[in-house]
Every structure is written in structure tokens, then in C-alpha cells.
Chain A
Amino acid sequence: MITRGRTPIYLGRGLHTCYAIFIKKHKLPPRPKLSIGIESDLEEKFLHGGRGPGGQKINKCNSKVQLKHKPSGIVVECQETRSRDQNRKIAREKLALQIARWENGWKMLARERALHEWEIQGKRSKERKSHDKHEKHREERKIERLRALEEEEKLLQGILK
């Protein structure tokens, strides 16, 4: 039982020491940003639910922003907030992430990998903690049993004498 519980953990520790030590939540690689000259490659559309007279006649609260990056054909949309300004900002953040992925050949980005690693690290440390706790308890129980045995033996010897 002990060997089965231990080996993968030690193996894991041994393999990933470099990650496990270095990744910290506040020191991740930065979020991808849109480069300054890219604005000319973007096509921005504001969708407000199409038909109808508009103007003072309707009172729409949602504003959807659709952003297209022409060279790659990536389209992102955003309507999370009521403010068009805010939606535009969020759409640009989303697009920056997608473009970075696209430039990376749809592989995981350094930040994403780090985040993933960070999550695994957290899980592993939790596992380790619980493992150590159980180990400690087992030790204690063993000692307790040994002591009980000794006492019994003493008692037996006393009776035999």
C-alpha cells in the first residue's frame, strides 16, 4: 500500500521540480496585448438587434460589439456590459488572446501553460499534504499499538514471574 501511494508522488516531484518551484500566481507571463499598428486590420461592428425604427422610439439597453481581424478571419463578440466602451475593451482583450493563439499555431500559450501548471501544482500540493497527514496518523497508531503490546508483555511477564 505504501509503495503504491508513494511512488507516483515522488516520481512527479522529481520530474516537475523546476515548474513546481517557479510558478507563482502573481508572476505569470503577461496577457497578450494587441500591437499598436493592428487597429487598421480590424473591422468593428456594432449590432443593436437589426430592424425597427430606432432612435427615440425604442430604448435598447444592450450593445453588442463584433470585432473581426481581417488577416486571420478571427471574429469575437462581446455584450457583457451595458457600456459600449467597456464592451469594446473586453472584445479587444478577447481578440488579442485569439490572435496570439493563432500566431502560435493554435498551440497553448506560455501564460496558459503556466496557469495549467499552476493548477496542477496546487492539486499536487494538496495531495501531498493529505498524504503526509495520513502518514503521520499511521505512524502514531503504530507507536500506540507497540506501546500497548509492550505493556501487555510486561503485564504477562509480571504474572508469569
Chain B
Amino acid sequence: MPRIRPSTIWEAHRLHKALPLLLPECRAIPIALQELQWIRNELGDKKYKIWKSCRLRYHRYPLQYILGTQPFGPLEIDCRPGVLIPRWETEEWALDLAHRLPPDKNLQVLDLCTGTGCIPLLIKRLRPQFAVGAIECSPVAVKLASQNAEKLGIHIDICTEDVLKCPPLPHKVDFITCNPPYISRSSFVGDTAKSVQLFEPKLALIGSLEFYENLCDFWIHQIEAFAYEVGTLSQCRYVESRIAADPALREQWRVGTKKDSNNKERVVYGYKTISAKGIDWHTLFRGFGGPTC
């Protein structure tokens, strides 16, 4: 990463005394000004508050934890230290997916590793007659997700379970969404942004294939379709190869990959060709993504 030039720092200082503190994270003056504006808009014009947040930002503390919220589609999700901040990539695919789900059917949707509860809350808001549930193993996140549900006035069932321990389901589930931890240990050190490394929970970040393995071993036998967020192409390939390796699954399932608007593989999804609920998953997912390549 190139260093910040002293002239840039001085220029920032001329515009606002606290602006140089935002430069290490923002890198450029226009972005830093924008951030300062957001801080001002949401925390008020109190001088000490602005300085405090700028100093936190200088130490790479995430802006969403300072402001306390992150927009997610039409929702405003509360964020707190100890819970992963919803990303724009997740927002993108979750919005696309939620708009594709049939509004007149009575689907049972379950979100695993829910964190702030952003995905299930969004689905329930856009498709109110669905029964939406969420599973999360961290008690802090469960508390925050319930708080978010209450604040937004959306009812979802949240329970504290470890997804990897294959918890028994109280009722049948048709569709599973999940944003599992997918950063490998090696790229967490080298490739991940400092603010994420330092301040976001590792429990929600570091993982390799265990959740995809768990999907193919356990969850896939109970559902009709799934959408899992991924970090790399290899995770998509893994899911595809596992399904292709099982003759029974290969007959029933189709798998695909969706890229985000930055042209990176972001979601691996799969659906049954014959649905017991009478949902045409094939047309539903048409245009959502494509075959893994």
C-alpha cells in the first residue's frame, strides 16, 4: 500500500483539524470528507464526539461500530462489537434472492450463522408470509439479532445452536441461506483488512470448508434449496464435487455459482429439480448465477 503523502495530510488538516486521523483508513481526502460528514450527520455536531470517533477510526475501529448501524437493503441493522458487520456483497445477493422467492407460497426458510440477523430479517420483510428462522452459536450475536428483530418489528425465530453439531430441527425446512466464516487462516493474516483483523470476531471470519462439508453431509438431506456465501472459487468447486460424487444427490440436485458486482465468486447455490412443494426452483434461479467454471 502506498504511503500517504505529507502534502495530503496537510491539505486534510487545512480542511478540518480531525481529518488527517481518517486518512490511514480512507486513503484519500474525498472519501475521508465523506466519512466525516456521516459521522457529523449521525452523531451530531458535538466536537468531542467527532474527535473521539476520528481517533477510534485512526486506530482502525470499524465505522459501523462507531455509528452503531449499517444499512442493509431497506433495513437499518444495529451493529455491535463481537458480531460481524453485514457486507454489501451479502446485501446484494440476499436482495436479489429475496425478490426471486415466490410471494404467494408458504416457504420455511432457515438462516445459519446469522450474526446480526440481516439475511432472515430482510427475507421476512420482503416476504412476510414465510416462516423464517435463524441459528447462531454466539450468544452476543443472538442477543443482537433479537434486538434487531424487535427494533424493526419483524418476527423471526432465533435459537442458539452450533450449526456444525447438526442440531435437530423443530419442523421441516425448505430453503437454507448461510453466510459462514470462509477466510482461510493463511489469508486472514496476509489478505484481510487491518480493521477486520483487529476488531471483528474471528469466530465469524475464519473457516475453510467445514461449513460446506457440513452442508453436504447433513443439511442437504433436509431441504430443497440452499444459498451459501463463499470467499473463493475452490469452495464452490468443493460443494459441486461433493454433490457430483454422490449418485443419489447428483440425480436430484443442480448447483451454480453467483458472482458479485465486483466479478468475484460470491454465492454457491443449489436446488432440487423435483420439488415436493411445487416450486419451480429452476426458473426461480434462472439468471441468478451460472454454472461453476
Measured CB to CB, the residues of A under 8 A from B are 45-46, 48, 50, 52-63, 79, 81-86
Contact = CB atoms under 8 A, between A and B. Distances in A.
Nearest to A53: B191
A48 B87 CA distance: 11
A59 B201 CA distance: 13
- Of A56, A62, A84, chain B has the most CB atoms within 10 Å of the CB of A56
A59 B87 contact: yes
Interface residues of B, number: 38
Contacts, number: 82
A117 B195 CA distance: 51
Nearest to B265: A55
A59 B266 contact: no
B260 A54 contact: yes
B74 A62 contact: no
A59 B193 contact: yes
Contact of A55 (B38, B73, B91, B229): B229
B195 A46 contact: no
A148 to B, nearest CB: 55
B211 to A, nearest CB: 13
B191 A82 contact: no
B187 interface: yes
B234 interface: no
B138 interface: no
23 contacts: A48-B88, A50-B262, A53-B231, A54-B87, A54-B262, A55-B89, A55-B183, A55-B264, A56-B183, A56-B196, A56-B204, A56-B205, A56-B231, A57-B192, A57-B193, A58-B193, A59-B64, A59-B200, A60-B87, A82-B70, A82-B71, A84-B71, A86-B71
B231 A57 contact: yes
B98 interface: no
B198 to A, nearest CB: 11
